[in-house]
Amino acid sequence: MRSKLRCVTALTVIGLVAGCAGTISPVSSRDKDTSGTYDGTWVARHVHTTDTQTYQDWRFSCSKPMDAIALTVAQGVIKPANTKTRLETFVSSTGRFRLEVPLRAKASESGGSDFSIDDGKMTIILSGNLAESKRRGKMVLGVSQFGNSGCTSKFVFEREQS
């Protein structure tokens, strides 16, 4: 019998509302883009979320996250736009990035589950590639106990015109 994980929806994080939602590694500061190729304003637009997703013996009930996330890139540093948060990461010279947002909320199992979650700390991970030929990525609402696997949604990245 599978265990069910109840994802916490309607979490307000850095001005974003996240739903249940990897594997691009973080970009180091020495590998960040210094050419200005990706500098500007970007929008990550939701494309698809599967309602039920699995990881090992766990079944995740996932909901669509926000429709769009505004991002800014300046001197190879990407961060959510219009927020006072200091959450930021680097974009590589090839356009890769991975932005991690730790949450205060914790995941819990559903009432009918045969197993329990011992480490329910949650993190939103937005990762992808801004290179013109790629411009897609994903958002994961990850649970620590599962190596930050969890509900995954697909996104595309669009550059805003100045």
- For 60-92, the pLDDT digits (tens) are 889 888 889 999 999 999 999 877 778 899 999
In the chain, % of residues over pLDDT 70: 85
Give the model's pLDDT for residue 23: 59
Quick one: average pLDDT of 105-127? Answer: 86
- Label the pairing between strands 96-106 and 149-159: unpaired
Q: Is the pLDDT of residue 158 over 60?
A: yes
pTM: 0.80
Burial (0-12, 13-18, 19+ Cβ within 10 Å), 63: middle
Give the model's pLDDT for residue 9: 33
- Lowest-confidence range among 39-43, 55-59, 146-150, 152-156? 55-59
Other CB atoms within 10 A of residue 88 CB: 14
Quick one: average pLDDT of 136-160? Answer: 94
Q: Strand, coil or helix: what is 146?
A: helix
Distances (CA, A) of 83 to 51, 87, 106: 29, 9, 23
